[in-house]
Amino acid sequence: MRNLRAMVMAVLVMGVAAGQAAGQLPFTANFDALTNGGLDGQDGWSADTQMVLSDNVGNPSSEHGYAGSRGASAQGVLGNFSATHGLGTTLSSGIITASALIQASAGGNPKGGSVFLSDGAGTILEVEALGGGANSQFNVKGPGGNIQTDPPFPAGIKNCCGAGDIENFNDSGWVQVEVEYNLGAGSAVGRVRDVLEFDNPGAVPPVLSAIVLEVDFPSFTAFNVNTVGIKSNSAFATNPGRVDNVEVTFVPEPATAMLLGLGGLLMLKRRR
């Protein structure tokens, strides 16, 4: 009886732990409720001082001018700058997916940004989109490896005003980048989708195309995840890569999900 009771308690503890991990997610951030200026310290974000929030960057009168939105970018400087946000839990199994919208075009110069997952101690798994014609890149970066497609599309991720290299590519130069990380398998997939419409995302979600590029990252040095991050790459000090609409979701591994269900049943039985 004691052994059975101990086993039941162990299952319950594991189920509660898994529930707490899954309960911290999904995580979303579109920045619209925050204040223009430095991102660091706002809504739990830790950021380089160069990472700032601003709205209506670009041409707000454009059909796809993201009017009313607020996004993060490295304004007034050249280089690559980042911001991170804790997920409130550490994940060692299951599948976690992180995505962000990236404005990744600047004529012939690579600007853009990335979304990444991290252990909070410097190890990251990142998906990056850099626009700029023939200089365009789509990168999947993980500990111990890097996969790059150069360029990701026949003539790169183009800058506004006309036919782009993705079917129906919009005139604001936005794409969605996504990384899906299977923690247990130590493998990841990077994806790109076109943003077909991005007007006032606080009220109307952006319209995305089907997947236009998908890259497998079959193996790397696996690590636990407790942080999501974004980066802005600036090719011009006055025209930085802009990042918006960060989303993170988590699916527990089947064994964990089964433990959650079993734990719930045992608790229900005990109450009865």
The pLDDT mean for the chain works out to: 76
**Nearest Cα residue to 51 out of 33, 71, 66:** 71
Residues whose CB falls within 8 Å of the CB of residue 102, separated by 6 or more in sequence, listed in order? 112, 113, 114, 115, 129, 174, 175, 176, 177, 241, 242, 243
Residue showing tokens 């190890």: 123
Name all domains of the chain by residue range, CATH numbers in brackets.
Answer: 26-252 (2.60.120.200)
- Mean of pLDDT values over 55-71: 56
Q: Which of 65-74, 88-97, 187-196 has the highest mean pLDDT?
A: 88-97
Lowest-pLDDT choice from 105-109, 163-167, 211-215: 163-167
The SS3 call for residue 119 is coil
- Mean of pLDDT values over 104-125: 83
Is the pLDDT at 7 greater than 50, yes or no? no
* Per-residue pLDDT at 180: 97
Which carries the bigger pLDDT value, residue 209 or residue 238?
Answer: 209
* Per-residue pLDDT at 79: 86
**Distance (Å, whole) CA 246 – CA 115:** 8
Band (pLDDT 50/70/90 cuts) for residue 241 is: confident
- Mean of pLDDT values over 63-82: 75
Band (pLDDT 50/70/90 cuts) for residue 61 is: very low
Q: CA angle, corner 54, sides to 118 and 89, nearest 5?
A: 25
**Distance (Å, whole) CA 133 – CA 157:** 6
Lowest-pLDDT choice from 31-45, 169-183, 247-261: 247-261
Single pTM value for the model: 0.80
Is the pLDDT at 84 greater than 60, yes or no? yes
Q: What is the pLDDT of residues 140-177, one digit of tens each?
A: 999 988 887 765 555 445 444 444 444 444 445 678 99
Is the pLDDT at 52 greater than 90, yes or no? yes
